[in-house]
Amino acid sequence: MANKPKIPNIAEIMADLKSGKLWNDLAKKFTESQVWTSSFRHGYADTPRNRVLQIASNVWLHLHPVKIHRHALRIKFTWCMGGITFLLFLSTVVTGVILMFYYRPVGEYAYFDMKYLQYDVPFGMLMRNMHRWAAHAMVITVWLHMFRVFLTGSYKPPREFNWVIGVFLVTFTLLLSFTGYLLPWDQLAMWAVTVGTNMARGTPFLGHEGPFQEFVPLISPRYDARSVLLGGSLVGPPALLRFYVLHCIFIPLVAGALMIVHFWRIRKDGGISGPL
């Protein structure tokens, strides 16, 4: 009879509940289970060791150093603009993938898919709005980030190379925005891109209206710098497909790769800039 399990009486349970012991025991059961300990590699008690591990053992957060200079926390110094630019980029990736489920980059369908997105797809209009406004905001924040970096002289040695990467990223931000501008396939899109790509006609040597093109054989309205961009001599369905592929695949991949280099170089060049 000695092996009989002890049945707790209700008074004991109430006492445990009141003192918090019940919750502590329960929490302990969870956090010491195999599933938990294999997922999280550090405790949550606010100890210096855990503060380091929170960053160093987390794949997303380990982009940060575990310690930074106090001045780097000041919004007055960083304006937060680099981080906001990255956040807005991520927002466009998420909303953009959702839009891709409904949008076909085909001359006959594109505009009507936009209408479908706006009027029939649940939250379609919101996704489209967020995508467009985040993209516009990103252009502004990346300029402000660049302005801040200039004003603090943060491009000076040893950070020259990261500034160059940054200039590439500004350019790709504008190209991302520009290629996306065509996709709604409305009047605004078609003519803005017509104005923009018409400039390529004036490319020296390679544009059919550019200076010195007469010295380059085969340059014509159908075969010049502009027609390479458009896949034709005007902004038509081939241009739509080309811009779609550039917008959704090529430029995000290249820009993403450069972002990795950009963030990595911040660390390697001695962390965020500050007075020496």
Under rule CB under 8 A, residue 212 binds another protein: yes
Segment interacting with another protein (CB under 8 A) among 23-31, 32-40, 184-192, 256-264: 184-192
Under rule CB under 8 A, residue 139 binds another protein: yes
14, 126, 245, 253: residue in contact with another protein (rule CB under 8 A): 126
Instruction: For 191, list phi and psi in degrees, rounded to 5.
Output: -80, -30
Lookup result for tokens 């109430």: 14
Under rule CB under 8 A, which residues in 82-111 are in contact with another protein? 83-84, 87-88, 91, 111
How far, in Å, are 59, 208, 230, 259 from residue 94 at the CA level?
Answer: 20, 40, 27, 17
Nearer to another protein, 16 or 40 (CB): 40
Beta bridge partners of 38: none
Under rule CB under 8 A, which residues in 36-65 are in contact with another protein? 48, 51-52, 54-55, 61, 64-65
Shortest separation between residue 207's beta carbon and another protein, angstroms: 7
DSSP designation for 103: -
Instruction: For 60, list phi and psi in degrees, rounded to 5.
Output: -80, -40
Shortest separation between residue 24's beta carbon and another protein, angstroms: 23
Under rule CB under 8 A, residue 68 binds another protein: yes
Site mask, another protein, residues 228-247, x = CB under 8 A? ------xxx-----------
Under rule CB under 8 A, residue 188 binds another protein: yes
Shortest separation between residue 20's beta carbon and another protein, angstroms: 25
* Cis amide prior to 158 (ω within 30 degrees): yes
Residue 96 structure tokens:
């953009």
What torsion, rounded to 10 degrees, do the Cα atoms 30, 34, 39, 41 define?
90
Nearest to 200 by CA among 236, 246, 235: 235
97, 199, 257, 260: residue in contact with another protein (rule CB under 8 A): 199
Residue 136 DSSP SS3 = helix
Shortest separation between residue 55's beta carbon and another protein, angstroms: 5
Count of residues touching another protein (by CB under 8 A): 91
